[in-house]
């Protein structure tokens, strides 16, 4: 590393000897880069400067700067750029509750992205999606199950979202002290989670408590702990200011309070919304000025074509342009791609890493850890591989689009759910597959042999649910009449009708059990009737390229379920607040008191884990909390089953004002623990003092005096958790 640093310093010596000497003495590499960035900017003409402020940035031959398109996606693999490993959708990754796994996936995405970038550069492919600025992760809060883009997030909890989002950022950006492997982006900042149909004009006025308790913590974690390089400003307005033109959001909070020093990009077309959808100003030039003065650096779009007019009207100065451009040049220097940079350690990343065996194995591990077992009557699962007859139905059993989610890459290998099942059953097992039903429309033929096939088989597996045509982003969900959001969360009648007919026919043929439902999708589904009709229910999410093989392992017992819900499944969506209501009242596990079908953090396995003896691990840590020291807690967990299990141990805190001026409870820690059959383990946690603070009405945080309830267990504590038999252990301590 020392050799590289010296070479880097030497390369800058001709730019500014005095600054170089200072940097050599202080070891401040960023100072050197910043000086180089300023030198580059000062060498540009005004026309050249303006050309670099939009996502499609042309090359500047005389400065040896190549063309670059900042728009690239890496949500769960390199996206929209051809061959790449496809990992589970982020909502599925959230279900793993596995911080290290998510970091490793981020690293794999950056590795493949670097390799693809190196090849593309040699081909002179400077197009969209061929760069290294990945506009991921999405750390918006999935506050309402009807939002179509909730699948892109890590669920409804700010702490889980921030923890996993930070891990992904660390993986993407790497650990080199000078260079970024790739640049991660925290999006969409902020208070953004539907409806899709009004996102270009919605003006949201959350309470300051909701803002700082729910909508901002994950972004803050990514900035302060993750050192994320990019933040994307959302389409919507907050407190009357469009996000890409909000000085309160971009400068006061993001830069001044949190110390963010990367660059800020608009969501695509969001600068246009400043004068269009939100009508904050009357012209494109004024929109340019508002955005730049608020702190925006880069536009995804072309409204900044009017920047010259803004300058001519004295709405902006050249100094404003230079200030906006500096973080962008810095990002390209950190990536080692502004000009040829021989010191960048990622220049020779070989393309053999793309879709390599290591990444394939990681994708399968993620798919296995993500799937959630919601019901398993009479221990129907795991199935015996030597079953006599089996029926598999549903378009999703063979349609790999039901495994992709959105913002996906294209792998040369995808294992469908049917393939995964067939990889496990005995050669003597008779298996019949018919789709049986259409995803969103009823079958037109009055005859449907699939019903009989399903009724006669010893076991039937139906793959039902949603795909990217029925839920997703504005303009993508082409089978959806509300631009990707859902009015309700029930499955289409075509699917439910087939499930009813299969259940009825199996009962008529004397087979009262043996019906397994596998659900695809990225958001909660109305489970009330499904759970009455099915004997076992598996939530597979959008499981990525290895989803089929992962499902086969789980259903036939070669792996144990360990996924947990990162979002509450409500019983009745009609009892929820309106989708466009951004108040957190009666939303998520933190504020819902009833109407819960499956609680946050819930998931079954092939064993039985019990919790006991939750307590302080060190009684002295209570007094230290007031001085900023962490709280130390512990609990004993025991596996009473005959198989090993990965248990997701969760810690929930209720403050003295819980249920009144604070959440009913909130997640403050979690850990995956491997338990052998019959084994017992004491699990300890160190909980940051900051997480014990309660957000006040003005948005400030305060450590309250009084009794705190702390619960350690297998899901969020609530009445429904206890009805489902979730093991919980609690204690009270005072501050």
Which residues are identified as catalytic?
A: 267
Report the helix count and the strand count for the chain, using DSSP H and E: 23, 25
According to DSSP, residue 410 is labeled: B
Element housing 465 (H / E): strand 459-465
- Cβ contact 269:300 at 8 Å: yes
> What is the DSSP pairing of strand 389-393 with strand 430-434?
parallel
Residue 516 main-chain phi, psi, to 5 deg: -110, 130
Write the secondary structure of 353-378 as one string of H (helix), E (strand) and C (coil). HCCCHHHHHHHHHHHHHHCEEEEEHH
- Cβ contact 489:146 at 8 Å: yes
Distance CA 485, CA 144 (A): 10
Residue 135, CA atoms < 13 Å, CB-side half-sphere: 27
Give per-residue burial for 282-317: e unless 16+ CB within 10 Å, then b: eebbbbbbbbbbbbbbbbbbebbbbbebbbeeebbe
* Chain centroid offset of residue 563 CA: 15
The sign of the CA dihedral 509, 510, 514, 520 is: positive
According to DSSP, residue 89 is labeled: P
Distance CA 701, CA 692 (A): 9
Residue 609 main-chain phi, psi, to 5 deg: -110, 130
According to DSSP, residue 257 is labeled: I
> Judging by beta carbons within 10 Å of its beta carbon (0-12, 13-18, 19+), is residue 410 exposed, middle or buried?
middle
According to DSSP, residue 250 is labeled: I
How many CB atoms sit inside 10 A of residue 528's CB?
A: 11
- Cβ contact 296:271 at 8 Å: yes
Identify which of 83, 279, 285, 298 has the alpha carbon closest to the alpha carbon of residue 185. Answer: 298
* Chain centroid offset of residue 464 CA: 23
Structural tokens at position 447: 């005859």
DSSP string covering 464-521: EE--TTTSSSTTT-TT-TTTT--SS-SPPHHHHHHHHHHHHHHHHTT--S-EEEEEE-
Distance CA 185, CA 74 (A): 10
> Judging by beta carbons within 10 Å of its beta carbon (0-12, 13-18, 19+), is residue 443 exposed, middle or buried?
middle
- Cβ contact 523:465 at 8 Å: no
Ramachandran bin of 189, using left for φ above 0, alpha for ψ from -120 to 50, beta for the remaining angles: beta
Distance CA 583, CA 556 (A): 43
> What is the DSSP pairing of strand 230-233 with strand 263-266?
parallel
Distance CA 288, CA 305 (A): 9
């Amino acid at each position: 590393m020392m050799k590289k640093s010296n070479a880097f310093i030497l390369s800058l010596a001709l730019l500014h000897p005095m600054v170089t000497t200072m940097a050599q003495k202080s070891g401040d590499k960023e100072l050197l880069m910043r000086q180089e960035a300023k030198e580059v900017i000062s060498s540009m003409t005004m026309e050249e400067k303006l050309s670099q402020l939009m996502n499609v940035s042309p090359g500047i031959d005389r400065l040896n700067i190549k063309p670059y398109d900042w728009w690239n996606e890496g949500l769960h693999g390199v996206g929209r750029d051809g061959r790449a490993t496809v990992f589970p959708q982020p909502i599925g990754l959230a279900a793993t509750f596995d911080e290290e796994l998510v970091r490793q996936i981020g690293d794999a995405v950056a590795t493949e992205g670097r390799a693809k970038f190196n090849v593309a550069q040699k081909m002179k492919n400077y197009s969209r999606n061929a760069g290294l600025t990945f506009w991921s992760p999405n750390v918006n809060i999935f506050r309402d199950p009807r939002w179509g883009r909730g699948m892109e997030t890590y669920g409804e909890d700010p702490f889980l979202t921030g923890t996993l989002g930070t891990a992904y950022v660390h993986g993407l950006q790497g650990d080199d002290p000078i260079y970024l492997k790739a640049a991660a982006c925290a999006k969409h900042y902020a208070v953004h989670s539907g409806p899709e149909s009004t996102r270009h004009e919605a003006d949201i006025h959350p309470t300051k408590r909701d803002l700082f308790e729910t909508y901002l913590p994950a972004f803050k974690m990514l900035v302060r702990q993750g050192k994320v390089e990019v933040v994307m400003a959302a389409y919507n307005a907050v407190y009357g200011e469009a996000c890409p033109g909000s000085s309160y959001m971009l400068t006061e909070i993001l830069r001044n309070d949190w110390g963010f020093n990367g660059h800020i990009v608009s969501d695509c077309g969001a600068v246009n919304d400043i004068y269009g959808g939100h009508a904050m100003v009357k012209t494109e030039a004024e929109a340019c000025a508002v955005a730049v003065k608020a702190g925006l650096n880069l536009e995804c779009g072309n409204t900044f074509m009017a920047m010259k007019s803004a300058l001519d009207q004295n709405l902006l100065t050249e100094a404003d342009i230079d200030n906006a451009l500096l973080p962008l040049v810095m990002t390209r220097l950190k990536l080692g791609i502004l000009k040829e940079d021989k010191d960048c350690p990622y220049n020779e990343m070989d393309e053999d890493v793309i879709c390599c065996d290591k990444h394939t194995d990681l994708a399968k591990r993620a798919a296995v850890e993500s799937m959630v077992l919601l019901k398993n009557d009479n221990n129907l699962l795991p199935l015996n591989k030597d079953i006599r007859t089996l029926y598999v139905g549903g378009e999703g059993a063979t349609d790999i689009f039901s495994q992709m989610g959105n913002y996906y890459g294209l792998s040369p290998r995808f294992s469908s759910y049917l393939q995964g099942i067939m990889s496990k059953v005995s050669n003597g097992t008779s298996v019949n597959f018919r789709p049986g039903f259409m995803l969103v429309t009823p079958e037109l033929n009055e005859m449907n042999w699939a019903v009989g096939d399903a009724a006669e088989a010893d076991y039937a597996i139906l793959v039902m649910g949603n795909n990217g045509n029925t839920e997703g982003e504005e303009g993508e969900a082409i089978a959806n009449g509300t631009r990707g959001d859902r009015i309700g969360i029930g499955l289409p009648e075509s699917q439910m009708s087939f499930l009813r007919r299969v259940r009825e026919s199996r009962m008529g043929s004397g087979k009262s059990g043996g019906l397994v439902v596998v659900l695809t999708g990225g958001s909660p589904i109305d489970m009330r009737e499904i759970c009455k009709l099915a004997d076992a229910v598996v939530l597979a999410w959008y499981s990525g390229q290895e989803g089929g093989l992962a499902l086969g392992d789980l259903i036939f017992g070669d792996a144990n379920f360990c996924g947990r819900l990162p979002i509450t499944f409500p019983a009745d969506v009609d009892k929820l607040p309106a989708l466009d209501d951004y108040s957190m009242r009666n939303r998520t596990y933190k504020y819902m008191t009833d109407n819960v079908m499956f609680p946050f953090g819930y998931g079954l396995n092939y064993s039985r884990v019990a919790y006991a003896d939750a307590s302080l691990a060190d009684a002295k840590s209570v007094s230290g909390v007031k001085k900023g020291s962490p709280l130390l807690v512990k609990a004993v967990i025991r596996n009473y089953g005959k198989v090993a299990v990965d248990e997701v141990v969760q810690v929930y805190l209720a403050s003295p004002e819980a249920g009144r001026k604070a959440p009913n409870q909130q997640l403050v820690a979690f850990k995956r623990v491997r338990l052998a059959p019959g084994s017992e383990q004491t699990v300890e946690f160190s909980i940051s003092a900051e997480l014990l603070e309660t957000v006040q009405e003005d948005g400030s945080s305060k450590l309250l005096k009084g009794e705190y309830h702390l619960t350690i267990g297998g899901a969020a504590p609530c009445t429904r958790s206890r009805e489902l038999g979730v093991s919980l252990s609690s204690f009270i301590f005072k501050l």
